[in-house]
Amino acid sequence: MQNSFRFEDVILTDSYRTSSFKNNLNDHIVSVLDFAAENTNSTVFKDQSLKFSKSLYWECLSVIYEKNPIVIEDSLKEANRILEQNLYIDVIKKLGDFFDPNDELLLETIDFTISNYIDNLNYKKVLETNPWSFTNDILMNDNLLYSFTDNLDEYKNLLNNNKKESESSKYLTIGVLGKGSRKDYSQSSIKDIYALRTLFLNLLDEKNHNCENPIKINDIIKKFRDLGISKDDLSDSNIKYWIVKPLKEKVKIGSNKNGYFIIRNENDLFESYLSHYNNFIGFYKTLERHKKQSSLFTEFDNQFNMHDGFLKDELR
């Protein structure tokens, strides 16, 4: 493990006004859970009542560690131990008078930040999608220490701004905590994306949005707004890329030119397959036109036949 930047140069902020740390922490959590879901056969992710918890998070981290073991030479182990020790010294020094050894939330926040800092150093060149790149941004760009909780009683004021939210989504919330160089904390909340995916599937099922009754993306977004979930909690883009897109990739929902639908039977599955197949044919024909046009150019040795071999029987 090599420290690619100087941690001691990081200055903890004394302002929480422009902090966007909750979005980065949300990206981190979703990335950790998505990795585990894609790399384990655990029945946990098939549970229709799946809800985020700290224990689930730590189990998902274990999957990442097991699938991508980091081998450290004996000569580096002591150096790494000293690095971690120095990180704690640096953090406590930066907090100064705001460090309270009796503040359990603060100690947990420091532990979590340093653990993620080290994991980012270990995995940034190992994983194509590195979950710790998001938390690294919290430390380096927002200049905050951070943590989270699945127990909203720890942050009792987090739901104060969500009084109008529906009961079905109000408590699908994760508390997040940021700590800068000041006495108080930056408290906020993020939505439990995995639970919201399940909620969305249930809505599609209840309203019978199958392949014969698809729903447009704008109407999907409106359904979330009707639940009282604001853009601050879940932006239009978040709905598309954190909820709809992953469910499509996992073939939980399908799509055609008329919208999205839940996949409950073979007809739903085939309708989605056919839509993707037609798109595939369209892309292939476009690639063929590019290849044909390339005969007009001879300046560079670019390869325009990388797609050859696909769909020979159908298109030739």
Dihedral in degrees, nearest 10, Cα atoms 227, 230, 235, 240: 0
Q: Is the pLDDT of residue 163 over 70?
A: no
Predicted local distance difference test score (pLDDT) of residue 313: 55
**How open is the CA angle 101-153-182, to the nearest 5 degrees?**
40
pLDDT over 90 percentage in the chain: 54
Closest CA to 113 of 17, 192, 10: 10
Tokens of 141: 């760009």
What is the rounded distance in angstroms from the CA atom of residue 220 to the CA atom of residue 247? 13
Q: Which residues pair with 186 in a beta bridge?
A: 178
Domain boundaries, the chain: 7-191, 192-316
Predicted local distance difference test score (pLDDT) of residue 150: 83
Predicted local distance difference test score (pLDDT) of residue 282: 92
Per the model's pLDDT, the better-predicted residue between 160 and 87 turns out to be: 87
Instruction: Kindly list the distances between the CA atom of residue 262 and the CA atoms of 48, 193, 202, 245, in Å, as whole numbers in the listed order.
Output: 14, 18, 9, 13
144 burial class (0-12, 13-18, 19+ CB within 10 angstroms)? Answer: buried
259 burial class (0-12, 13-18, 19+ CB within 10 angstroms)? Answer: middle
Residue 315: band (very low, low, confident or very high) from pLDDT cuts 50, 70, 90: low
Q: Is the pLDDT of residue 33 over 80?
A: yes
Average pLDDT over residues 162-168: 61
Average pLDDT over residues 102-126: 93
pLDDT over 70 percentage in the chain: 88
Residue 6: band (very low, low, confident or very high) from pLDDT cuts 50, 70, 90: low
Q: Is the pLDDT of residue 213 over 80?
A: yes
Predicted local distance difference test score (pLDDT) of residue 156: 62
Q: Is the pLDDT of residue 160 over 70?
A: no
Question: Which region holds residue 208: left if phi is over 0, alpha if psi is between -120 and 50, else beta?
Answer: left
Predicted local distance difference test score (pLDDT) of residue 187: 84
Residue 314: band (very low, low, confident or very high) from pLDDT cuts 50, 70, 90: low
pTM: 0.79
Please state, as a whole number, how many other Cβ atoms lie within 10 Å of the Cβ of residue 213: 13
Q: Is the pLDDT of residue 279 over 90?
A: yes
Q: Is the pLDDT of residue 147 over 80?
A: yes
Predicted local distance difference test score (pLDDT) of residue 63: 93
Which residues touch 34 (CB under 8 Å, ≥6 apart)? 246
Q: Which residues pair with 36 in a beta bridge?
A: none
Predicted local distance difference test score (pLDDT) of residue 1: 45
One-letter amino acid at 104 equals E
Spell out a b/e string for 86-121, using b for 16 or more CB atoms within 10 Å of the CB, else e: ebeebbeebbeebeeeeeeebeebbebbbebbbbbb
Tokens of 27: 């990206």
Average pLDDT over residues 37-66: 87
Q: Is the pLDDT of residue 221 over 90?
A: yes
Predicted local distance difference test score (pLDDT) of residue 72: 79
Which residues touch 263 (CB under 8 Å, ≥6 apart)? 251, 252, 253, 254, 269, 272
Q: Tell me the average pLDDT of the chain.
A: 87
Predicted local distance difference test score (pLDDT) of residue 250: 87
Average pLDDT over residues 117-135: 92
Predicted local distance difference test score (pLDDT) of residue 59: 93
Residue 47: band (very low, low, confident or very high) from pLDDT cuts 50, 70, 90: confident
